[in-house]
Chains A and B, each alone.
Chain A
Amino acid sequence: MTGTVRVSDVTKRYGRVEAVRDASFSLGEGELVALIGHNGAGKTTLLKLMLGLIRPTSGAIEVLGDNPAAGEFAGRRQLGYLPENVSFDPALTGRETQAFYARLKREPVAKALGLLDTVGLGAASRRRVSTYSKGMRQRLGLAQALLGAPRVLLLDEPTTGLDPELRQTFYDIIARLAAGGATVLLSSHALTELEERAGRVIIMNRGIKVADGSIDELRRLARLPTRIRLKVAGLAPSEMPDWAPQDATCRRLNGHIVEIDAAPERKIELLHRATAAGNAVEDVDVVPPTLDELYAHFLRQSERAP
């Protein structure tokens, strides 16, 4: 795996505020990375640093072989960026805007205009951008980010304002790009969407990287319990079945459901016990900790350890 983006010990200070503190990571080809964190956690600052829009107070950044802080931009022909709240010149039409950006990247204009259909802008592309809704501007933003064959895609909140159908198309497109070797870094609040798609998650809190790894790795690190939900017949509303473990948290949910919080290594044992012969279990659901819960866990952890 070759690195396309390298961030080493980067700190960015605005006056007395540290927007990013000592962040280090590197992204490889074909990775689909989710960058998550609260508003103001430093996500946008990191993206801007990678683009050379701002310079780090200390530390070094390398993107496709360039040092963006020194104004190098040769690699940017293979970089796509979608800013948060993307905006375009209102006087030009979607097609004119896309053609302008294609020329800057030395991409054939005809091919670039085809991308407008891919993102479903279609007929609206002949209208001026000033008439566009938020969703349509976001589509145009995606179309320009996909120009050329980007090896690095930096997407800041890419799915805000997109309808569910286009969301699906969007994730398909970036999955295809990642499969083709592109690095995709996307910051988002839509954690449930990212859960199945991101191969790797970087969690930021107050400018500090608090977690970095695949979802499975984060689950292992967090040691959050997996919830086992059992549908049990013939139980009184507050009664616990006699096989319920004493050393794990058990609770009753609506009606027939018993929920057990299982530590990761006891999952199988508890399942065995619950489904042992003679127990009136009708159905089983195993719910691993979601990205939402992992995120909350790592934030709590970082708040506790100053």
Chain B
Amino acid sequence: MNVLIIAAKEIHQAIRNRWVLAATLLLAGLALSLTFLGSAPTGNVGVRTLDVVVVSLSSLTIFLVPLIALLISHDAIVGEMERGTMLLLLSYPVARWQVLLGKFLGHLAVLAFATCLGYGAAVGALAATGSQIDSDSFLAFAAMVGSSVLLGAAFVAIGYLVSALVRDRGTAAGICIGLWLLLVLIYDMALLGVLALDQGRSISAAALNAMLLANPTDAYRLINLTGFANVSTFAGMAGLAQTTSLTIPVLLTALLGWTLLPLGLAALAFSRREL
């Protein structure tokens, strides 16, 4: 009950602060432009447009959704402490884990709303312009939206962990930008570099799989680019899709773990904090 009251307040605040509007418009705008610009080179004949959209949108999601998630989550705890609102909230009959979980549900709802509506706009636009959408493509699209929300959840949880550990908002923001750069950009480049240098001599397939699971964005990428046969041909990942032993349940579990572990640690750190 307390969790829902706090979640409802977070949603209310996000609507008031125009967070919901901004995130939805941003995602919808990019999704629409990718849908129409992205299909220009392939044309509309013979290619299932929605599959192309899934590939381009999931690449976009990897950059954008973690960024939005970290932006709304990084000051959830330390920010409220600095503003002094946490002091009053914790004098109420609520447990600290309830505060954290309530915020999480609220922020996740905002993110899910923006993603579903923003990306949904792309499908709506395709349908409206008369593209054929078969059920396979739609399934891949729905999985992409669902996993995008899960990716967002993981980064919201990571943002909370940072927020629960640091002393001030500036530090939280700095660390979150660093984490974003690391997980979204640097990790993959470093991994590619290592693989290229190694030439398959000492890094086994199992080790590679572990390294891919160790980054939520890679787990997300694999779900969307290799999980669905119709999509992986366009993603240029068909080869990888046949060789990888990481199945969708494993990848989903990894994403879920990336959500629950930081969230649990954040709750632990928050419960030890003194205000």
Contacts of B85 in A (CB 8 A): 87-89
A-B contact count (CB 8 A): 63
Contacts of B12 in A (CB 8 A): 92, 96
Interface residues of B in 94-152 (CB under 8 A from A): 94-96
Q: Counting CB contacts under 8 A, is A73 at the interface? A: yes
Contacts of A198 in B (CB 8 A): none
Residue pair A55, B274 in contact (C-beta under 8 Å) = yes
Contacts of A54 in B (CB 8 A): 274-275
Q: Counting CB contacts under 8 A, is A17 at the interface? A: no
Contacts of A53 in B (CB 8 A): 87, 90-91, 274-275
Q: Counting CB contacts under 8 A, is B44 at the interface? A: no
Residue pair B91, A51 in contact (C-beta under 8 Å) = yes
Residue pair A51, B2 in contact (C-beta under 8 Å) = no
Residue pair B93, A105 in contact (C-beta under 8 Å) = yes
Residue pair B5, A103 in contact (C-beta under 8 Å) = yes
Residue pair B5, A86 in contact (C-beta under 8 Å) = no
Contacts of B201 in A (CB 8 A): none
Contacts of B94 in A (CB 8 A): 73, 104
Q: Counting CB contacts under 8 A, is A83 at the interface? A: yes
Q: Whole-angstrom distance from the CB of A131 to the nearest CB of chain B? A: 13
Residue pair A100, B5 in contact (C-beta under 8 Å) = yes
Residue pair B16, A92 in contact (C-beta under 8 Å) = yes
What is the CA–CA distance of A154 and B96 in the complex, to the nearest angstrom?
Answer: 20
What is the CA–CA distance of A88 and B2 in the complex, to the nearest angstrom?
Answer: 18
Contacts of B13 in A (CB 8 A): 89, 91-92
Interface residues of A in 87-101 (CB under 8 A from B): 87-89, 91-92, 96, 100-101
Known: A104-B2, A104-B5. A83 touches B93 (CB 8 A): no
Contacts of A87 in B (CB 8 A): 83-85, 88
Residue pair B271, A71 in contact (C-beta under 8 Å) = yes
Known: A87-B83, A100-B9. A105 touches B92 (CB 8 A): yes
Q: Whole-angstrom distance from the CB of B140 to the nearest CB of chain A? A: 38
In the complex formed, the residue of A with least CB distance to B88 is: A83
Residue pair B84, A86 in contact (C-beta under 8 Å) = yes
Q: Counting CB contacts under 8 A, is A77 at the interface? A: yes
Interface size on B, residues (CB 8 A): 22
Residue pair B275, A48 in contact (C-beta under 8 Å) = yes
Contact with A along B211-248 (1 / 0, CB 8 A): 00000000000000000000000000000000000000
Residue pair B95, A73 in contact (C-beta under 8 Å) = yes
Interface residues of A in 73-131 (CB under 8 A from B): 73-74, 76-77, 79, 81, 83, 85-89, 91-92, 96, 100-101, 103-105
What is the CA–CA distance of A96 and B15 in the complex, to the nearest angstrom?
Answer: 14
Q: Counting CB contacts under 8 A, is B17 at the interface? A: yes
Residue pair A101, B96 in contact (C-beta under 8 Å) = no
Q: Whole-angstrom distance from the CB of B260 to the nearest CB of chain A? A: 21
What is the CA–CA distance of A83 and B84 in the complex, to the nearest angstrom?
Answer: 9
Q: Whole-angstrom distance from the CB of B78 to the nearest CB of chain A? A: 15
Q: Counting CB contacts under 8 A, is A4 at the interface? A: no
What is the CA–CA distance of A77 and B91 in the complex, to the nearest angstrom?
Answer: 9
What is the CA–CA distance of A81 and B92 in the complex, to the nearest angstrom?
Answer: 9
Q: Whole-angstrom distance from the CB of A103 to the nearest CB of chain B? A: 5
Residue pair A73, B275 in contact (C-beta under 8 Å) = no
Residue pair B16, A91 in contact (C-beta under 8 Å) = yes
Q: Counting CB contacts under 8 A, is A144 at the interface? A: yes
What is the CA–CA distance of A54 and B87 in the complex, to the nearest angstrom?
Answer: 11
Q: Whole-angstrom distance from the CB of A86 to the nearest CB of chain B? A: 6
What is the CA–CA distance of A118 and B251 in the complex, to the nearest angstrom?
Answer: 57
Residue pair A83, B87 in contact (C-beta under 8 Å) = yes
What is the CA–CA distance of A100 and B5 in the complex, to the nearest angstrom?
Answer: 7
Residue pair A79, B95 in contact (C-beta under 8 Å) = no
In the complex formed, the residue of A with least CB distance to B87 is: A83
Contacts of B88 in A (CB 8 A): 81, 83, 86-88, 141, 144
In the complex formed, the residue of B with least CB distance to A104 is: B92
Contacts of B16 in A (CB 8 A): 91-92
Contact with A along B71-94 (1 / 0, CB 8 A): 000000000000111011011111
Known: A87-B85, A104-B2. A81 touches B271 (CB 8 A): no
Q: What are the 7 tightest A-B residue pairs by CB atom distance, in nearest-first order? A: A81-B91, A87-B84, A76-B93, A91-B16, A54-B274, A53-B275, A104-B92
- Residues of A at the B interface (CB closer than 8 Å) are 48, 51-55, 71, 73-74, 76-77, 79, 81, 83, 85-89, 91-92, 96, 100-101, 103-105, 141, 144, 154
- A-B contact list, 23 entries, CB within 8 Å: A53-B90, A53-B274, A54-B274, A54-B275, A55-B274, A71-B271, A73-B94, A76-B93, A77-B93, A81-B88, A81-B91, A86-B84, A87-B85, A87-B88, A89-B13, A91-B13, A92-B16, A100-B5, A104-B92, A104-B94, A105-B93, A144-B88, A154-B91
- Residues of B at the A interface (CB closer than 8 Å) are 2, 5, 9, 12-13, 16-17, 83-85, 87-88, 90-96, 271, 274-275
Besides A83-B88, A85-B84, A92-B16, 5 more A-B contacts (Cβ < 8 Å) are A51-B90, A87-B88, A91-B17, A92-B13, A104-B2
